[in-house]
Amino acid sequence: MFTVIEQCRVAAQPGTTVLEKSLPLTSFDLTWFHLHPIQRVIFYEHSQLDAAQCFISKLKDSLSLTLKHFYMFAGHLVCSKTPNPTIKPKIHYVDGDSIPLTFMESNQDNFDYLTSYYPRTAFEFHPLVPQLPAESIMGDIVLAPLLAIQVTLFPGSGISIGFTARHEAADGNTVTRFIRSWASITKFSSDVPLLGEKLDQPICFYDRSVVNDPNEEIFWGGVMSRPFNMGSCSPTQLPPDLVRATFIMAPDHIQLLKRWVSKEFPTLSHVTTFSVTLAFVWVSIFKLKMRINEVCDRPVLLVISADCRRLMDPPLPENYFGNCLLPVFFPRNFNEPLSKDDGFIIGAKLIGDLIEEKLRKKDAISRCQEEMVFFGIRMSEFQFIGVSGSPKFAVYDADFGWGKPKKNELISIDFTGAIFLSDCRDAKGGVEVGLSFPKIEMDAFTVIFADGLKSVEKSRGEA
């Protein structure tokens, strides 16, 4: 099915000024300890690409230059194998550290199938993302690689680039900035366009001394209570009937939903593309659960991860390398009104109110983290459905010189069950919604989602 063309390791371009650097993990990083890595695959349509050495060399050279700026990705997560209060985890880089890069060729004629939006077998995507190399163990110290990349050629059709990154090292913001940076450097064979006029400013901000992190000790205590876990992401763990599909929230639909919410609640200040899209999708999922008569002995909680770089005191720059996400938990009674005819409008108001309440106050960070500790202790009592990605990440702007991506997929939702939100390839201002369900549930959700949009078009278009 796949042929290995080349396996290599790529280090930062010689001349990188940093010879060694360590980044202590903050509470925002420790949040993701023991959890699944970020796995993403991006597809590009290109009928002329082949396994020519010049193509491979160009990608390796541009990756090396990209690592000059994102050098910490070539480092390791360093932690103790067993709970040890004297060894706090950190990200450590030494000059010469490298990341594994694999070039593969597929002999399957399924590129169009993989880049479609209708339900497709989830298992078929996993060979396109690499597994992280095994960790090294020295006594009680574990050194775990942070990033692996796989390039897969589909002769006569296109190419896919798969990424697997440890979430302890970086959030989606950082990973997608790395991807867009690598794309730009490949396209222009230089990092000058990426730097722009600010040649004296770094592409990545690494200074952890400015991170105000009073809860670090609390989260460290939680991590220390459990032995190190690499975070398995083997596709053999997936149900055989699991499928992936992508649904489009077109700009016109989003505007109709926004106007509907604003008309019903004129004083609601938080009416955004994110809030109305999430409300519509969550109501559709809730209707699905009712239709299939799903019985769950645990309350289902919706959780969003909000980028809090601007909420920090002092604020962190957008190019901050690492994790800076706040979990926002929706209350248990959030689900109750969603079964009503006006479930969307109620859901949109609840989301807007909760975001305004929890993220606009001075103590937003400490309150959200305290709530996370509360639910973390009682994790077995609840079923969580998270939200991953963001349309603001602009993944479809990642042009390696082959044009915009044909499709992007967040593979890790097959394990987490999260709702994946992305910018839209063909409609500026639209949103792509990625989901992973058993086939019978996906078929039902597809009908619910389509009927919901038709209802919006009919009722709000006439309003």
| Tokens, residue 122 | 């989830």
> Is 146 in contact with 76 (CB distance < 8 Å)?
yes
Residue in the structure block whose two tokens are 């290109």: 46
Burial class (CB in 10 A: 0-12, 13-18, 19+), 406: buried
Number of neighbours of residue 376 by Cβ within 10 angstroms: 12
Give the C-alpha distances (Å, rounded to integers) separating 52 from 6, 58, 223: 11, 10, 46
Task: Concatenate the DSSP letters of all residues of 291-308 into one string.
Answer: HTT---SS-EEEEEEEE-
Phi, psi of 22 (to 5 degrees): -125, 140
Would you please indicate which residues are annotated as catalytic (active-site) residues? 167, 399
Burial call 227-250: b when 16+ CB within 10 Å, e when fewer: ebeebebebeebeeebbbbbbbbb
- Residues, the chain: 463
Q: What is the C-alpha to C-alpha distance for residues 345 and 330, in angstroms, rounded to an integer?
A: 16
445 closest CA partner among 240, 306, 282, 301: 282
Contact 276, 253 (CB under 8 A): no
Q: Pairing relation of β-strands 38-45 and 136-138?
A: unpaired
Helix (H) or strand (E) holding 192: helix 192-195
**Tokens 């903050």, residue located:** 26
Q: Which helix (H) or strand (E) holds 263?
A: helix 251-264
